Structure 1
């Protein structure tokens, strides 16, 4: 929880950056909500990419690493690469302190878990680029279950065989 304020700053930065780059609705002004971030921490899903400069630790990026089946992924307009066990990356955000922090988070997840899924908004061109240049396959479209509008997301998967 000591990192919570820094995580909230990173999420605020990500919301502003998305809005500035033509994607104002994916996270809007309030996503992820405080209780979601606190739950990520409590459930040990919150992953931090850190370094140390001058004896001080810095958070470079963060994401939620969610093991087990994601109910949102049960129905896809397209096809997943396989039905093997996977982890899902959600809520990735960078501090802006270094380049390629999101890519480094994704590389870590692939190295440690091998089969990774993610999704992003059709307007989030930056995340689509990061996923595609990280070797993820575009598998189709999914619909979010936790909101009434703006539910379509592009689904991705990479499986290190």
Structure 2
């Protein structure tokens, strides 16, 4: 029996389109299950992010996909919403941001599980292209805390989400490449 050859392209980033929506929803479902199995069942529960939020992110050109190609087929390795401008959730912080300079926020990052290092690649792409990046995560999301901290983000304090009635506390992070 001969060896199988797999041809893989380099990872690249592109904006999501509505054609990507079914794949994106599956990736978020995978991420919710993974978070729950790793001791973080409440951050996204069984419904977040809601389909209408994901759809709005795509329509507003906020969703960025990390993709590669294997044997001629494109695969989505990870996805995130990149939100420029002041995030209303970040106006009040129990702690202090590194600065008040303009920034972008990474929201709703999720990996498909098809490749290692996908979340790290997404975060590094944001730093490289925008310089001043903020993010937040649930206190139980040890994996994302590790990814952010190992990629040079400073833990700035705690924020409270504005879009839900309970389980609102998040750890706020920032990295600013001067």
- For the criterion TM > 0.5, the same-fold answer is yes
TM-score, normalised to structure 2's length?
A: 0.90
Query: Which residue among 44, 51, 54 is the counterpart of 2:61?
Result: 44
CA distance in 1, matches of 2:85, 2:112: 27
Runs of 4+ in 1 over 6 A off after TM superposition: none
Q: Counterpart of 2:116?
A: 99
Give distance in 1, aligned partners of 2:51 and 2:23: 13
SS in 2 for 1:36: helix
TM-score by length of 1: 0.99
Q: Residues 40-79 of structure 1 correspond to what in structure 2 (within 5 A)?
A: 40-79=57-96
Q: Distance in 1 between matches of 2:36 and 2:112?
A: 16
Structure 2, gaps ≥5 residues long: 1-17
User: Structure 1 stretches of 5 or more lacking a match?
Assistant: none
| Correspondence for 1:8 | 25
Residue aligning to 1:85: 102
Larger Rg: 2
1:123-138 to 2 correspondence within 5 Å?
123-138=140-155
How much has 1:36 moved relative to structure 2?
0.1
CA distance in 2, matches of 1:53, 1:68: 36
